[in-house]
Amino acid sequence: MEQFALPHTRQTLASTLSAPLPDVIARLIAAGEISEAIASIDLFLSENLPLMLRNRLLLERERLETLMREYPFDAQGALEEMRRYYPDTSEEDFRKLELRGMIDFLFLNHEKRYFVRFARSLARDNRYRRELELSIDPASPALDEMVGKIREKGALGYRITLQSDISPATEGFTPGHYRFWLPFPVPYAQQSEIALLEGSPDLIAPEDALTRTAYAARFLTAPETFSIRYSYLSVIRYADPLHAQPPTAPLYPTEPPVCAADLAEDHVQIRFTPFLRSLAQEIAGDAVTPLDKAWRVYRYVTEQISYAFVRDYRLLDHLAEYCARNRRGDCGLQALLFITLCRILGVPARWQSGLSFDDRDPGSHDWAQFYLEGWGWLFADCSYGGSAFRAGNTIRHAFFFGNLDPLRMASTRQFMADFIPASRSVRRDPYDNQTGEMECEEDSKADYRCIRHVNLTQFEEVEV
């Protein structure tokens, strides 16, 4: 049988992950015997297999290799890493945190290994902060100033200019055919007047693309940088659905109307599992209106789910349920949980992601939208809302139910959307589009060594 490449489109990834692994491989993975599981996969791949099973094994092999990189610390190394952040941590303290599920570890090849960012996650864990009596300053000067302006004036806008680039690493460079995708702003509720200022992409995805990129294909004999500079207008209009009557027209009238997909399962990741159905009903309680249901879901995610860095999304089979059952997750998992619970309760909700600029420093970020009659499509940022809740800032907590700050760049309308043109292999991050992707026909691992930068070069407040 012909050798097939790794599945790479949204549909093929979803269907491939639904294929069960052979028992021997599943048992080896469950026992943490990763090297043996990879060896078993290679033996299976040498045989004549159905396409779906072959693709599943190819994908699983890639996931297992990624898993090994995500858990670099042994027990002693993990304790040392912990003490870098919390010098007074005893071995017993560390053990209790493990047993309570607050430190992410796995057994890999007969050894307990610890997640690369476990210690940094603890600084954001509500339970851990309470135990250490770590206070959080309720003020966030730059953010509070923007929130105050939006609440007072009813709107706030910025003209933003970003520089984005991607290049192969010099070390280990392989000459060959390279393809680059850099995130590019998509016209959205809050985002308009988008312009390419510098750069020579071969293609910019159309305005209605589910995820928008600037694309270039180059044959490189030495490392070169693909770079673009672009500007756009970002405007947030104040919504206070908890206290105000709906406006006479939606705040963002150019947004498309609600469609069936905004209330449906998406078997890539948004699944109405029995656990999530039960949780949604428990959260909603006696709530009747879409507003009450959405607000209760937002409160649950921001107040009960601790922020935590998580392993590569490719290593988690059901992100929303993972977040709910472990009561921890990063911005993307929290957004997916909010969307899934809202849809189960009949509240239209959908994905939005790209960049946010904390302290003017661009960083990858995900958030959600939800729909209310009269108001139209509004925003929910559970990560920012959770941060405000932990700080005791009730104004900022309520603000991110309905609103965003305008220092954002949105490039994606749908979780796990395909690029235009489509990639030919599984992307480093097949779920999002935030800092850029690269692939090389001659070197399948080149993307793991590539260099990415995003710089906020200019932002100017404008009258709206």
Say if residue 297 is in the same domain as residue 423.
yes
pLDDT the model gives residue 68: 84
Same domain, 314 and 413: yes
Same domain, 66 and 198: no
Amino acid identity at 298: Y
Domain stops at, among 19, 47, 70: 70
> pLDDT category, 136, cuts 50, 70, 90?
low
Q: Residue 42: pLDDT band by 50, 70, 90 thresholds?
A: very high
Residue 5 in domain:
no
- Asked whether residue 137 is domain-assigned, the answer is no
- Is pLDDT at 133 greater than 80 in this prediction? no
Task: For residue 325, name the pLDDT band (cuts at 50, 70, 90).
Answer: very high
Helix (H) or strand (E) holding 64: helix 51-70
Q: Does residue 139 belong to any structural domain of this protein?
A: no
Tell whether 47 and 171 lie within a shared domain. Answer: no
Does one domain contain both 99 and 238?
no
Same domain, 221 and 349: yes
pLDDT of residue 88: 87
Q: Tell me the pTM.
A: 0.88
Which of 20, 37, 70 marks a domain boundary?
Answer: 70
Based on the fold, state whether residues 247 and 189 are members of the same structural domain: yes
Cβ neighbours of residue 315 under 8 Å, at least 6 residues apart? 63, 66, 67, 70
Ramachandran sector of residue 392 (left: φ over 0; alpha: ψ -120 to 50; beta: rest): left
Distance CA 14, CA 423 (A): 16
- Is residue 2 in a domain? no
Q: What is the CATH number of the domain that holds 177?
A: 3.10.620.30
Structure tokens at 459: 């932002």
Give the model confidence (pLDDT) of 326-372 as tens digits: 998 999 999 999 999 999 999 999 999 999 997 677 889 999 999 99
Mean pLDDT of 129-156: 81
Q: CA angle 179-182-188, nearest 5°? A: 140
Same domain, 62 and 106: no
- Domain end position, chosen among 18, 36, 70: 70
Predicted confidence at residue 205, as pLDDT, reads 97
Question: Does some domain include residue 1?
Answer: no
Domain that holds residue 282: 147-464
Same domain, 168 and 43: no
11 or 85, higher pLDDT:
85
SS3 of 296-344: HHHHHHHHHCEECCCCCHHHCCCHHHHHHHHCEECHHHHHHHHHHHHHH
d(CA 66, CA 226): 26
Query: What is residue 2's predicted lDDT score, i.e. its pLDDT?
Result: 40
Residue 366, H or E segment: strand 361-372
Of all residues in the chain, what percent are helix, strand and coil, respectively (each to 5)?
A: 35, 25, 40
pLDDT at residue 449, rounded to an integer: 85
Q: Is the pLDDT of residue 272 over 90?
A: yes
Is residue 94 in a domain? yes
Q: Is residue 138 part of a domain?
A: no
Quote the pLDDT of residue 416: 87
pLDDT for position 424: 85
Q: Are residues 55 and 159 in the same domain?
A: no
Per residue in 195-247, pLDDT (tens digit) is: 999 999 999 999 999 999 999 999 999 999 999 999 999 999 999 999 999 99
Burial of 1 (0-12, 13-18, 19+ CB in 10 A): exposed
Q: Band of the pLDDT at 166, cuts 50, 70, 90? A: very high
State residue 352's pLDDT score: 95
Question: Which pLDDT score, from 0 to 100, does residue 34 have?
Answer: 92
Q: Tell me whether residue 212 is in a domain.
A: yes
How do residues 393-416 score in pLDDT, each as one tens digit?
Answer: 999 999 999 999 999 999 999 988
Q: Rounded to whole angstroms, how far apart are CA atoms 188 and 173?
A: 38
Q: What is the mean pLDDT of residues 181-185?
A: 97
- What is residue 137's predicted lDDT score, i.e. its pLDDT? 64
Residues 166, 238, single domain; the answer is yes
Distance CA 353, CA 330 (A): 13
Rg of the chain taking only CA atoms, in angstroms:
23
Number of domains composing the chain: 3
Cis peptide before 421 (omega within 30 of 0): yes
Domain match, 253 and 127 both: no
Which one has a higher pLDDT value, 128 or 222?
222
pLDDT for residue 129: 63
Read off the pLDDT band of 1 (50, 70, 90): very low
At residue 428 the predicted structure's pLDDT band, cuts being 50, 70 and 90, is confident
* Positive or negative torsion for Cα 236, 242, 248, 252: positive
Structure-block tokens of residue 98: 């493990």
